[in-house]
Structure 1
Amino acid sequence: MGNRLFIEARNAVEQAKNATGSGQHTEIARAKNAISSAFANSTMAERRQLSQLQNELDQLT
């Protein structure tokens, strides 16, 4: 089934990348929170991917 929080974080990052204007700021904040929540309950492989997702968010700001 997979880690639900990891999947939510990945989806939130995609939404942030696709958002425009002032809505993007909100989506980025939401994605950062989702990544933080997912990190504690993730495997090492998921943590590496979450770090990559965080880097993608950092590039948006």
Structure 2
Amino acid sequence: MANRLFQQARQMVELAKDATGSGQHEMIAKAKNALSSARANSTFAEQQQLQELQNELNQLK
């Protein structure tokens, strides 16, 4: 069974990347929360991917 929180975090990062203006700031915050939640129950491989997603978010600022 796939990690649902991991999948949600990945989707939130994609939505943040697609958002514009002030809506992007809100989506970045939501994506960060999703990443944080996903880290708690993720495998080592998922944690590495979550770090890559975090790096993508950091570039959006």
Aligned length: 61
Give me the CA root mean square deviation. Answer: 0.4
TM-score with structure 2 setting the length = 0.98
> Which runs of no fewer than 5 residues in structure 2 stay unpaired?
none
Q: Distance in 1 between matches of 2:37 and 2:55?
A: 16
Q: For residue 27 of structure 1, what is the aligned residue in structure 2?
A: 27
The answer for unaligned runs of 5 or more in structure 1 is: none
**How far off is 1:6 after superposition?**
0.1
Structure 1 runs (4+) deviating above 2 angstroms are none
Q: State the partner residue of 2:2.
A: 2
Name the CA distance, whole Å, in 2 between partners of 1:40 and 1:22.
29
Sequence identity, in percent?
Answer: 69
TM value normalised by structure 1: 0.98
